Amino acid sequence: MPRTADHDERRDRIARALLRVVARKGLADTTMVDVAEEAGASVGMVQRYFRSKKDLLRFGVEHLYRRGAERLEGVERRPPFRDLLLRLAETLLPLDEERRTELTVWLEFLPATVTDPDLAGLHRGTTRLLVDGFADAFTIAGQTGAFPTENDPTEEAVALVSLVDGLTIHHLLGSDHFGADRIRTVLCTHIDRLLAPAPGTTGA
Amino acid sequence: MPRTADHDERRDRIARALLRVVARKGLADTTMVDVAEEAGASVGMVQRYFRSKKDLLRFGVEHLYRRGAERLEGVERRPPFRDLLLRLAETLLPLDEERRTELTVWLEFLPATVTDPDLAGLHRGTTRLLVDGFADAFTIAGQTGAFPTENDPTEEAVALVSLVDGLTIHHLLGSDHFGADRIRTVLCTHIDRLLAPAPGTTGA
DNA sequence: ATAAAAATATTACGAGCATATTTTTATTGC
DNA sequence: GCAATAAAAATATGCTCGTAATATTTTTAT
């Protein structure tokens, strides 16, 4: 009988190698040979696990989103709501080397997401989950008074996600004014403002 | 003397053709032949005006940022400040076909901006101008009471630009919850909130 | 021990592309 | 009208990369 290998482990190893190469060289300059070398494997082996380059890329993106979801799930669900919200949102920012790498790769894949229907679906699904997740959290927080009822949960979720992603992109591109401290402060201010009751409203 | 051609006009024609092709097929699938065909020219002619593909791409990006700047300059400078700010910010959103095309191309170029130093410089310079422009506007508005003095002008500018770009990207990627109406509303809410004095502050 | 089958490695091919080179065409001064 | 020369088009070249085809190694059941 034939020999056996841990397929899932191999696929993951290759996917992680892909992400490292893309983070280093950019998606446009990433070749199958690069990925194979980075994974310490041959091109043939990469081909064995991924029928085509497109397959490999799709799996890589899935891996990426999975990692993001894991990180979000790992956040402590401890009140007060304001701090919890801040922890969740900060999780999405490139504030350490690992997230920086992953989000750089995410940025590399964004344009492909416009063209490729599979990637588009993946992106939309993930974004939807994220926005709905925040919106649900806002709705629940509204019942305990931690979120002003005059605000629309979905709108606020859209705003928060957009702000975070905008900050992320500019930070990654190295724009002036978008240093790590600054983007944290901006996020903080935004959250405090959206949780504060509107001026003309009584706090009770 | 030999025959002569309007070089600037030609360069612009080619650049515009490039942007149309990139918007349609994506940067990764855009070839010199594509651009030449779109411009109604031969590859040789494109080569005459742009020594290499990289040159062409850089010029295209410059063209892009120039168009954005022109649009901003074309905005009516009429008070009240809140409406002016809204008009300026909306100018950056992909709310019609032309801006949609241009911003799609901008998105296509974002990853290249990470790698290519020239493009990075261009991006940083433009972003800096934009953020400083908004910050200056906030500072001036602060003197007339239209902008709460307890807010930091630069921070607010960073937040506004990030929010706009985040909304733009998600809208272009066709995410649910990021329709045209929604992103306008979200922008509106953000502006109203940042211009409103903080709860614990007297309006005077 | 060995045969069979699976996993992995190597090599080869061909498409597509940017760019260099050559050829043709058009225009202007004399 | 005829060189002279710039502009544009056509063609040629060489390289990179994805993929397919082939070869080699490794494992295990008999």
**Does pLDDT of A174 surpass 50?**
yes
- Residue A31 inside a domain? The answer is no
Q: Quick one: how far is CA A5 from the chain centroid?
A: 31
Token pair belonging to A164: 């975070």
Average pLDDT, chain A: 93
Quote the pLDDT of residue B75.
95
- Terminus-to-terminus CA distance in chain B, angstroms? 73
| Confidence band of B192 (pLDDT split at 50, 70, 90) | very high
Provide mean pLDDT across the span B31-50: 94
Q: Which of B158, B161, B156 is nearest to A193 (CA)?
A: B156
Quote the pLDDT of residue B204.
44
| Confidence band of A6 (pLDDT split at 50, 70, 90) | confident
Q: Where are the beta strands (DSSP E) in B57-131?
A: none
Percentage with pLDDT > 90 across chain B: 89
Quote the pLDDT of residue A2.
66
A–B interface: beta-carbon pairs under 8 A: 171
- Residue A70 inside a domain? The answer is no
Quote the pLDDT of residue B189.
96
- Residue A91 inside a domain? The answer is yes
HSE-up of residue A102 (Cα within 13 Å, Cβ side) = 23
Round to a whole number and report the distance in Å from the CA of A42 to the C1' of D21.
Answer: 15
**Domain residues for B98?**
78-195
- Residue A109 inside a domain? The answer is yes
| Confidence band of A142 (pLDDT split at 50, 70, 90) | very high
Shortest CA distance from B129: residue in chain A: A176
Residue A198, helix vs strand vs coil:
coil
Count of domains observed in chain A: 1
B42-78: pLDDT as tens digits: 999 999 999 999 999 999 999 999 999 999 999 999 9
- Residue A63 inside a domain? The answer is no
**A45 beta carbon < 7 A from strand D?**
no
| Confidence band of B79 (pLDDT split at 50, 70, 90) | confident
Provide mean pLDDT across the span A120-124: 95
**B189 beta carbon < 7 A from strand D?**
no
How far is it, in rounded angstroms, from Cα A119 to Cα A140? 32
* A104 contact residues in B (CB cutoff 8 A): 114
Could you give the dihedral angle defined by the CA atoms of residues A81, A169, A119 and B168, in that order, rounded to the nearest 10 degrees?
80
How far is it, in rounded angstroms, from Cα A204 to Cα A162? 30
CB < 8 Å & 24+ apart, contacts of B2-5: none
| Confidence band of A24 (pLDDT split at 50, 70, 90) | very high
Residues 15-54 of A, Cβ under 7 A from nucleic strand C: 41-45, 47-48
**Does pLDDT of B15 surpass 60?**
yes
Provide mean pLDDT across the span B86-95: 97
Provide mean pLDDT across the span A57-73: 95
**Does pLDDT of A36 surpass 90?**
yes
Q: Which of A127, A96, A23 is nearest to B166 (CA)?
A: A127
How far is it, in rounded angstroms, from Cα B186 to Cα B106? 22
- Residue B8 inside a domain? The answer is no
Average pLDDT, chain B: 93
**A32 beta carbon < 7 A from strand D?**
yes
Query: Are A120 and A114 contacting, i.e. CB atoms less than 8 angstroms apart?
Result: yes
**B199 → closest Cβ in A155, A177, A199:** A199
Q: Write out which nucleotides of chain C lie closer than 7 A to a protein Cβ.
A: 4-11, 16-22, 26-29
Percentage with pLDDT > 70 across chain B: 94
Quote the pLDDT of residue B203.
44
Quote the pLDDT of residue A203.
44
Q: Is the dihedral of CA A193, A195, A199, A200 positive or negative?
A: positive
**B199 beta carbon < 7 A from strand C?**
no
Around Cβ A91, how many Cβ atoms within 10 Å? Answer: 16
Quote the pLDDT of residue B2.
63
B113-164: pLDDT as tens digits: 999 999 999 999 999 999 999 999 999 999 999 999 999 999 999 999 999 9
Q: Omega before B199 cis (within 30°)?
A: no
How far is it, in rounded angstroms, from Cα A129 to Cα B118? 37
**B2 beta carbon < 7 A from strand D?**
yes
Residue written as tokens 């002003």?
Answer: A148
How far is it, in rounded angstroms, from Cα A18 to Cα B145? 53
Residues 55-94 of A, Cβ under 7 A from nucleic strand D: none
How far is it, in rounded angstroms, from Cα A163 to Cα B168? 11
- Residue A90 inside a domain? The answer is yes
Token pair belonging to A27: 């998606």
How far is it, in rounded angstroms, from Cα A45 to Cα A42? 5
How far is it, in rounded angstroms, from Cα A91 to Cα A74? 10
**Distance between B3 CA and the closest CA of chain A, angstroms:** 40
Q: Which of A115, A93, A87, A73 is nearest to A169 (CA)?
A: A93
Token pair belonging to A112: 């492909």
Whichever domain contains B106, its CATH number is 1.10.357.10
| Confidence band of A201 (pLDDT split at 50, 70, 90) | low
- Residue A71 inside a domain? The answer is no
| Confidence band of A3 (pLDDT split at 50, 70, 90) | low
Q: Is the dihedral of CA B125, B129, B135, B139 positive or negative?
A: positive
| Confidence band of A200 (pLDDT split at 50, 70, 90) | low
| Confidence band of B3 (pLDDT split at 50, 70, 90) | low
| CA nearest to nucleotide D27 C1': residue | A3
How far is it, in rounded angstroms, from Cα B101 to Cα B159? 24
Provide mean pLDDT across the span A41-54: 94
Quote the pLDDT of residue B8.
87
Q: Omega before A80 cis (within 30°)?
A: yes
Q: Any idea which nucleotide's C1' is nearest the CA of A43?
A: C9
**Does pLDDT of A111 surpass 70?**
yes
Quote the pLDDT of residue A204.
44
Round to a whole number and report the distance in Å from the CA of B41 to the C1' of D9.
Answer: 9
**Does pLDDT of A114 surpass 70?**
yes
**B169 beta carbon < 7 A from strand C?**
no
